[in-house]
Chains A and B, each alone.
Chain A
Amino acid sequence: MSEQRETRILMISPDSKLTPDQLVRAVHAMVPEISIKETCYGCLVEGTRETVKKVVEQVRQIYRNEVFSKRRGYPQGDPRRCRAQHGTRPGFTQLEAEWECLPLIQYALNEIDAGNGAYEVPAEKKPIPVKEMKDICEAYR
């Protein structure tokens, strides 16, 4: 079964103007035989591994750096994971936190696409030597 079914979270970056509704309609047009559930952050798609792969590839082409994706273990509407059953599961908070981070990732990917991807890793900051700290303290005496 695992080989057959794949469920994906498609999450729209908060900086994108794309709406979940638009995304759902676009995905529907991409492939037949896919199950889609609109959510507050984008949508859940479910189908065979091959179908879902096609969807993700096309979504990445059309909404290149605006929509992000990861697999989900549970199928759509699984009561074991459903929020309505007994409240949110802890992974919900994780998704929320990562959603907040997506604009930064989107920015970085856009920069790379635009040829501005050069970066420099800053040297790690180290605590000042004890002697130096002592001098500072004594200067305030």
Chain B
Amino acid sequence: MSTIRIAQLSCGTEYSGVQFEIESAARAVGAKIVYPDVSYSQVKEALDRFGFKPKSTQLQLMIARAMSLADRKFEADAVFITTCFRCAEAALVRNELRRFIQENTRLPVVTYSFTERLKAAQLLTRMEALVTIVTRKELLARERQSGITAGIDSGSSTTKAVIMENNKIIGKDWTPSGAVVVETAEQVLANAMKEAGVEMKDIEAMGTTGYGRFTVGKHFNCKLIQEELTVNSKGAVWLANRQRGEATIIDIGGMDNKAITVRDGIPDNFTMGGICAGASGRFLQMTANRLKIDIQDLGAMAVKGNWANAKMNSYCSVFGIQDLVTSLGEGKKFEDVAAAACHSVAEQVYEQQLQEIDVRHPIIEVGGTSLISGLVKAVGEVLGEEPIVPPHSQYIGAVGGALLSSGFL
């Protein structure tokens, strides 16, 4: 297999001391970072054509490099667009170039805004997904599961297992992730097999994803060990029966959120966030704990409430929750407070992540948090469109794993 060439369009990476980390992440997944060659005269021409003339010349160079990719003057397999966090000029260019690349090429693209603290590990999943999309095109095109296969999603909050046979789910289970990922995985797999009425020897192939995928994959000798961006996308479109055409997948996870746009079930752009607990499922868990209610009840309660009645002055998982407690002290209804918590998470996902992609329709909301009806309602309100929540929406990773691993049979 030849090395995957990821074209980097960037500003500030060298002077932020992160170029080395970017290249390390690419190398770790068998890819190589390349810069599209452009000449000075091409820069001038590209700016005229693109119509956006940033003051910073490195951003001008990014535009010319993107143009060179669009014109097929430079060959690459994927595109990584990255600029300094907090630079307004760069953020504008980053987003417009991402759109331009998507409109003019079929290359998968990921955007990222970095700080000087960026480490290669933070980029690994993104880089791995770019490589998967390029190298596993045929596997990702798979729309039907065949034989008897299992999928395990070893996530940061919960571990899920699914058994599938002839394109149907015949067994499933989930549990909060324990300290030893293999033990938790064994437990959910055993329960799922019990429900399915199959034994280990019946399982023809296994696929795994999520944070614990490498450990779990090695333990079970999985045929497929793959990052959650591509696996979850496949699981989501299978569950929602939207395998063809376009869609946006929103997965608000326990530790990080994913917003993925797909074309025929294959991601072509995605963002992953994970620096703020206030924008994650963890925030809702913390809210439920603080309100001394069950997380399952939080969603139903929120649906009945009005977020506007319980003002939150902060998105933060510490201060924001304090605001909610204060609201309760002022005599506000539990329902309103629960709605405010859901609205806060939805608003943050919208502000932080959905700005980095072009939302395509339909919107499919998945992951454990999609079971919290109040959050789904809040996401719908913020986006102005009700998301589709497919059945078994928390099992996307496991379903994706079972579906894709059957491709190895």
Q: Do A and B bind each other?
A: yes
User: What is A's interface to B at a CB cutoff of 8 Å?
Assistant: 83, 86-90, 93, 96-97, 100
Minimum CB–CB distance from A100 to chain B (whole Å) comes to 7
Which residues of B in the span 55-110 have a Cβ within 8 Å of any Cβ on A?
Answer: 57-58, 61, 74
Which residues of the partner chain A approach B61 to less than 8 Å between Cβ atoms? Answer: 90, 93
Q: Pick from B31-39, B163-171, B350-358 the stretch touching chain A.
A: B31-39
Instruction: Give complex CA distance A51, B57 in Å.
Output: 35
Task: Please determine whether A89 and B39 come into contact, CB atoms closer than 8 angstroms.
Answer: no
B76 — nearest CB in chain A belongs to which residue?
A87
Which residues of the partner chain B approach A83 to less than 8 Å between Cβ atoms? Answer: 37
A86 — nearest CB in chain B belongs to which residue?
B34
Task: Please determine whether B40 and A88 come into contact, CB atoms closer than 8 angstroms.
Answer: no
Q: Is B43 interfacial (CB 8 A cutoff)?
A: yes
Minimum CB–CB distance from B325 to chain A (whole Å) comes to 51
Task: Please determine whether B32 and A90 come into contact, CB atoms closer than 8 angstroms.
Answer: no
Minimum CB–CB distance from A94 to chain B (whole Å) comes to 8
Task: Please determine whether B39 and A96 come into contact, CB atoms closer than 8 angstroms.
Answer: yes
A-B CB proximity, top 4 nearest: A87-B35, A96-B40, A86-B34, A97-B40
Sample (11) of A-B pairs whose CB atoms are under 8 Å apart: A83-B37, A86-B32, A86-B33, A86-B34, A86-B35, A87-B37, A89-B35, A93-B38, A93-B39, A93-B61, A100-B40
Instruction: Give complex CA distance A65, B39 in Å.
Output: 26
Which residues of B in the span 29-52 have a Cβ within 8 Å of any Cβ on A?
Answer: 32-40, 43
Minimum CB–CB distance from A121 to chain B (whole Å) comes to 26
Task: Please determine whether A88 and B43 come into contact, CB atoms closer than 8 angstroms.
Answer: no
Sample of 7 more A-B contacts, CB < 8 Å, known A93-B39, A93-B61: A83-B37, A86-B34, A87-B36, A88-B35, A90-B61, A93-B38, A97-B40
Minimum CB–CB distance from B208 to chain A (whole Å) comes to 33
Name the prevailing secondary structure of the B interface residues: mixed
Minimum CB–CB distance from A122 to chain B (whole Å) comes to 25
Which residues of B in the span 1-50 have a Cβ within 8 Å of any Cβ on A?
Answer: 32-40, 43
Instruction: Give complex CA distance A90, B64 in Å.
Output: 11
Minimum CB–CB distance from B40 to chain A (whole Å) comes to 4
A96 — nearest CB in chain B belongs to which residue?
B40
Which residues of the partner chain A approach B37 to less than 8 Å between Cβ atoms? Answer: 83, 87-88
Instruction: Give complex CA distance A89, B8 in Å.
Output: 11
Minimum CB–CB distance from A42 to chain B (whole Å) comes to 17
Instruction: Give complex CA distance A111, B133 in Å.
Output: 61
Task: Please determine whether B40 and A93 come into contact, CB atoms closer than 8 angstroms.
Answer: yes
Instruction: Give complex CA distance A98, B7 in Å.
Output: 26
Minimum CB–CB distance from B74 to chain A (whole Å) comes to 8
B36 — nearest CB in chain A belongs to which residue?
A87
Minimum CB–CB distance from A24 to chain B (whole Å) comes to 24
Most buried by B among A88, A93, A97, A100: A93
Instruction: Give complex CA distance A9, B308 in Å.
Output: 65
Instruction: Give complex CA distance A87, B38 in Å.
Output: 9
Task: Please determine whether B58 and A90 come into contact, CB atoms closer than 8 angstroms.
Answer: yes
A97 — nearest CB in chain B belongs to which residue?
B40
Instruction: Give complex CA distance A86, B34 in Å.
Output: 5
Task: Please determine whether A93 and B43 come into contact, CB atoms closer than 8 angstroms.
Answer: yes
B8 — nearest CB in chain A belongs to which residue?
A86
Minimum CB–CB distance from B363 to chain A (whole Å) comes to 37
B43 — nearest CB in chain A belongs to which residue?
A93
Q: Which of A86, A88, A97, A100 contacts B38 (CB 8 A)?
A: A88
Instruction: Produce 1/0 per residue, B185-225, CB < 8 A to A.
Output: 00000000000000000000000000000000000000000
Instruction: Give complex CA distance A89, B58 in Å.
Output: 11
Which residues of B in the span 334-388 have a Cβ within 8 Å of any Cβ on A?
Answer: none
Instruction: Give complex CA distance A96, B61 in Å.
Output: 13
Which residues of the partner chain A approach B38 to less than 8 Å between Cβ atoms? Answer: 88, 93
